[in-house]
């Protein structure tokens, strides 16, 4: 296809048939070029400085003056028609190459991507975060304590004497050797004492975490579960502050729900109470109603949520706090239980058995 050889000598600028045959050769080569790279070569051969038509053009200057006009017209037209064909072909090939590139580089954004399921927070973690947020918004701090705890902090300092049933081996997991008096904390309450020993009042803390008891492993019991402890120590703190705080928490967690404080006993609070929530399912209508059997509240109309009370002055005194100046309230809620009745989980074992479908199956969804 290349004509570099014929480029060595140009046609006679006065010889119409010679010039036309160069033009024909050029047009044929142009038509046959199938890429812009080939066309570049063709341009060089047939329209470049050393092409036959360029040489013929240069030869015009050596002609007799009378012949120049005719030769100039002939060569000029010849070169113009070659250049026009080159430009047209260039346009076609550019478009074709662009089209090919677009096809080759095409990305089909409608193709389904491979769906990797995204993990979610464990429902316990998510609820602890939500509960802590309620308190952080009120300016409280989150305090944490160890799960391997001293017997004194878990029991004695909280006014749980050596004869208290919670000390029995049936409940508490002691760590050997017994002479070390170490145990897996049975409650988050020792964080109260740790905080009071290390901070001057005022104290406003919540403390979420794992607790351990030598319990059965069944639908409603786990040997490891979670509590959220709260403690306030300040001047002039009353049971009213406790009630207001827990009502605020209940409403943040459950929306408009009725609550009640039911008298109870805890060694570390006096007076003590259990906080109950009105049953979300039957709203109390199952009480004494033989036709309505409510599984959520066992037809009692109320669901027990957690323990609370005014901090026993003996506990404040054990932490070296002046009980004439300061008083406090405390509470401890079961987190696992809260997920159960808030998100309608029926079996606590699902919380620990690791089936990743579980969090998504909960009412209220997973995060
Ligand atoms: N620690 C108690 C328990 O494990 C819960 C509790 C009750 C915590 C009353 C408190 C409280 O701080 O004031 O059952």
Q: Tell me how far the alpha carbon of residue 280 lies from the centroid of ligand 1, in angstroms.
A: 23
| DSSP annotation string for 138-155 | TT-EE----SEEEHHHHT
pLDDT value of position 24 = 95
pLDDT value of position 2 = 45
pLDDT value of position 366 = 65
Positive or negative, the CA dihedral 243, 204, 167, 160 is negative
pLDDT value of position 4 = 45
Q: Tell me how far the alpha carbon of residue 16 lies from the centroid of ligand 1, in angstroms.
A: 113
DSSP state, residue 221:
B
Q: What value does the mean pLDDT take over residues 9-31?
A: 91
Widest CA span of the chain, in angstroms?
136
Shortest-distance Cα residue to atom 12 of ligand 1: 331
Q: How many CA atoms lie within 13 A of 343 on its CB side?
A: 26
- Binding pocket residue ranges, ligand 1, CB within 6 Å: 187, 189, 229, 266, 269, 307-309, 330-332
As a whole number of angstroms, the distance between CA 204 and CA 209 comes to: 17
The CA-CA-CA angle for residues 296, 302, 303, to 5°, reads: 60
pLDDT value of position 195 = 98
pLDDT value of position 7 = 42
Nearest atom in ligand 1 to the alpha carbon of residue 230 is 12
Nearest atom in ligand 1 to the alpha carbon of residue 332 is 8
Q: In whole numbers, what is the pLDDT of the chain averaged over residues?
A: 92
pLDDT value of position 22 = 95
Contact 188/145 with Cβ under 8 angstroms? yes
Using one digit for the tens of pLDDT, what is the confidence trace for 248-271? 999 999 999 999 999 999 999 999
As a whole number of angstroms, the distance between CA 26 and CA 215 comes to: 97
Q: Tell me how far the alpha carbon of residue 60 lies from the centroid of ligand 1, in angstroms.
A: 112
Contacts of 324 (CB under 8 A, 6+ apart): none
Give the residue, out of 266, 310, 314, 333, with the most ligand 1 atoms within 8 A of its beta carbon, to mutate for a pocket test: 266
Q: Tell me how far the alpha carbon of residue 334 lies from the centroid of ligand 1, in angstroms.
A: 9
pLDDT value of position 8 = 57
Using one digit for the tens of pLDDT, what is the confidence trace for 164-196? 887 877 789 999 999 999 999 999 999 999 999
pLDDT value of position 1 = 46
Q: Tell me how far the alpha carbon of residue 316 lies from the centroid of ligand 1, in angstroms.
A: 15
Q: Rounded to a whole number, what is the distance in angstroms from the first to the last CA of the chain?
A: 69
Q: Provide the 3-class DSSP secondary structure of residue 237.
A: coil
Q: What percent of the chain has pLDDT over 90?
A: 74
């Amino acid at each position: 296809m290349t004509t570099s050889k014929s480029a060595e000598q140009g046609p006679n600028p006065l010889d119409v048939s010679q010039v036309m045959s160069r033009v024909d050769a050029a047009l044929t080569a142009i038509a046959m070029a199938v890429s812009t790279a080939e066309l570049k070569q063709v341009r060089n051969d047939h329209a470049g400085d050393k092409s036959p038509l360029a040489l013929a053009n240069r030869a015009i200057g050596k002609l007799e003056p009378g012949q120049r006009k005719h030769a100039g017209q002939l060569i000029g037209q010849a070169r113009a028609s070659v250049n026009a064909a080159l430009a047209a072909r260039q346009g076609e090939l550019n478009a074709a190459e662009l089209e090919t590139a677009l096809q080759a580089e095409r990305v089909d954004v409608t193709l389904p991507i491979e769906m990797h399921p995204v993990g979610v927070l464990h429902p316990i973690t998510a609820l602890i975060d939500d509960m802590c947020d309620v308190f952080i918004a009120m300016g409280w701090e989150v305090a944490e304590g160890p799960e391997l705890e001293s017997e004194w902090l878990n029991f004695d300092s909280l006014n749980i004497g050596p004869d208290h049933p919670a000390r029995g081996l049936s409940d508490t997991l002691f760590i050997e050797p017994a002479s070390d008096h170490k145990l897996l904390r049975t409650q988050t309450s020792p964080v109260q004492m740790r905080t009071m020993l290390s901070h001057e009042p005022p104290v406003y803390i919540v403390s979420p975490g794992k607790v351990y008891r030598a319990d059965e492993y069944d639908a409603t019991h786990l040997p490891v579960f979670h509590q959220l402890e709260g403690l306030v120590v300040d001047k002039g703190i009353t049971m009213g502050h406790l009630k207001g705080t827990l009502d605020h928490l209940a409403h943040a967690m459950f929306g408009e729900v009725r609550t009640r404080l039911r008298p109870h006993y805890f060694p570390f609070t006096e007076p003590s109470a259990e906080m109950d929530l009105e049953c979300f399912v039957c709203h109390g209508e199952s009480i004494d109603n033989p036709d309505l059997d409510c599984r959520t509240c066992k037809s009692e109309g109320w669901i027990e949520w957690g323990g609370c009370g005014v901090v026993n002055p003996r506990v404040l005194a054990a932490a070296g706090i002046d009980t004439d100046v300061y008083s406090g309230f405390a509470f401890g809620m079961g987190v696992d239980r809260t997920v159960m009745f808030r998100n309608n989980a029926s079996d606590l074992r699902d919380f620990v058995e690791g089936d990743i479908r579980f969090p998504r199956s909960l009412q209220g969804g997973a995060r």
